């Protein structure tokens, strides 16, 4: 039994070392990726801004208002697969009348709190976060499938780098560079700050009025999980009064040209920042488990078992003839006078395998 035990230790020692390598280099890269769906408590992202400059079409004047953006993101699990996730986003921009978040309201709201709303459906690679352009996923912006998503949208890649990425803007319907700016601490996490600057891009206000659109967008990203912990937008939309988006298109409403439709700064609320930080913290232990702890524990177990096996082999090798340890001369061989021919019939455990002394 003792002889069998050392081989068992040797087998399991090698097994755990191989298991560690497989988990580290095969399982972890395949398993660590964006989920097909976001837990319900993290699916809603809220941002707010005070003192916005807003053109009130009902009065024909600009007024100061407080605004809220409510963004809800739901994963279409059935449409996704092992490589691609599909997220549906709905967004509403509202004004408040009493300083509280009104939530999403429809266009028939009696207090006229709805400024605009939009929808977005995007398919993206679950590891890189980059948009996947394939008609089978039905990606669209406000139902328009002719708009092609590019770059990142609602999350950054697993293991975000300190580099430039393309980030998609639903208002313009295009992706623009977003540059790494700095590393900071936020809500107990180390985050990367990225900045995107779009200036005077042709876009529609309320999906209706041709305008120019400027937005200085900043996001703070937990790099391991790729979660956007905080976001901020300094935006400005200016009406052109033209017939279409082109700067040389016909000027049909000169009175609207140059009027600021909306201008101000939107920032994630503190509650949203806490929730987004918690989402990242929920994912980090899972990532560290498969990348670090499982391989490390397997390596330690493998080395301990191999060490125990080696000790058993060496102990058996030293103890194959007890007379050696007592300083007695070795038994005579068959070629020596007086050798007992039957003394070789009992080989003992040391005669079968002698790695340490061979």
pLDDT digits (tens, 9 = 90+) for 148-162: 999 999 999 999 999
pLDDT digits (tens, 9 = 90+) for 284-335: 988 888 878 888 888 888 888 888 878 877 877 766 555 554 455 555 555 5
pLDDT digits (tens, 9 = 90+) for 126-182: 999 999 999 999 999 999 999 999 999 999 999 999 999 999 999 999 999 999 999
Average pLDDT over residues 184-196: 97
Give whole-number Cα distances, 155 to 34, 39, 79, 85, 340, in Å. Answer: 9, 14, 18, 11, 82
Backbone angles phi, psi at 121, to 5 degrees: -125, 125
The CA-based dihedral angle spanning residues 20, 81, 124, 34, taken in that order and rounded to the nearest 10 degrees: -40
Residue 2: predicted pLDDT:
59
Give me the chain's average pLDDT, please: 86
Residue 353: predicted pLDDT:
38
Lowest-pLDDT range of 105-109, 302-306, 346-350: 346-350
* Of residues 10 and 221, more confidently modeled: 221
The per-residue b/e assignment along 232-251, b for 16 or more CB within 10 angstroms, e otherwise, is: bbbbbbbbbbbeeeeeeeee
pLDDT digits (tens, 9 = 90+) for 267-278: 999 999 999 999
| 114-125 and 44-56 beta bridge pairing | unpaired
Lowest-pLDDT range of 24-28, 76-80, 191-195, 274-278: 24-28
Question: What percent of the chain is predicted at pLDDT more than 90?
Answer: 60
For residues 227 and 34, what is the distance between their CA atoms, to the nearest angstrom?
A: 10
pLDDT exceeds 60 at position 342 = no
What the block records as the tokens of 113 is 């709190």
Question: What percent of the chain is predicted at pLDDT more than 70?
Answer: 87
For residues 278 and 285, what is the distance between their CA atoms, to the nearest angstrom?
A: 12
Lowest-pLDDT range of 26-30, 145-149, 335-339: 335-339
């Amino acid at each position: 039994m003792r002889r069998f035990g050392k081989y068992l230790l040797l087998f399991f020692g090698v097994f755990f070392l191989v298991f560690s390598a497989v988990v580290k280099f095969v399982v972890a890269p395949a398993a660590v990726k964006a989920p097909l769906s976001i837990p319900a408590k993290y699916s809603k992202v809220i941002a707010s801004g005070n003192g916005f400059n807003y053109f009130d079409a009902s009065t024909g004047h600009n007024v100061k208002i407080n605004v809220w953006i409510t963004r809800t993101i739901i994963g279409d699990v059935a449409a996704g697969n092992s490589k691609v996730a599909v997220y549906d986003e709905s967004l509403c921009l509202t004004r408040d009348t009493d300083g509280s978040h009104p939530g999403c309201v429809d266009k028939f709201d009696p207090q006229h709190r709805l400024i605009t709303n939009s929808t977005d459906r995007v398919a993206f690679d679950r590891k890189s976060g980059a948009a996947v352009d394939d008609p089978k996923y039905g990606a669209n912006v406000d139902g328009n499938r002719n708009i092609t998503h590019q770059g990142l949208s609602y999350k950054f890649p697993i293991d975000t780098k300190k580099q430039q990425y393309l980030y998609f803007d639903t208002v313009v319907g295009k992706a623009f560079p977003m540059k790494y700016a700095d590393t900071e601490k936020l809500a107990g996490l180390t985050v990367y700050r990225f900045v995107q600057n779009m200036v005077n891009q042709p876009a529609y206000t309320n999906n209706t009025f041709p305008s120019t659109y400027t937005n200085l967008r900043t996001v703070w990203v937990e790099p391991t999980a790729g979660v956007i912990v905080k976001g901020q937008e300094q935006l400005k939309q200016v009406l052109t009064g033209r017939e279409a988006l082109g700067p040389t298109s016909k000027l049909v409403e000169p009175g609207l040209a140059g009027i600021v439709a909306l201008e101000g700064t939107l920032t994630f609320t503190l509650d949203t920042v806490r929730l987004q930080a918690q989402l990242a913290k929920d994912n980090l232990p899972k990532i560290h488990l498969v990348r670090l702890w499982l391989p490390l524990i397997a390596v330690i177990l493998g080395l301990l078992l191999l060490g125990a096996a080696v000790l058993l082999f060496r102990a058996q090798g030293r103890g194959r003839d007890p007379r050696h340890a007592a300083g007695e001369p070795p038994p005579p061989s068959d070629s020596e006078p007086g050798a007992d021919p039957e003394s070789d019939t009992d080989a003992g455990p040391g005669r079968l395998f002698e790695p340490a002394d061979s």
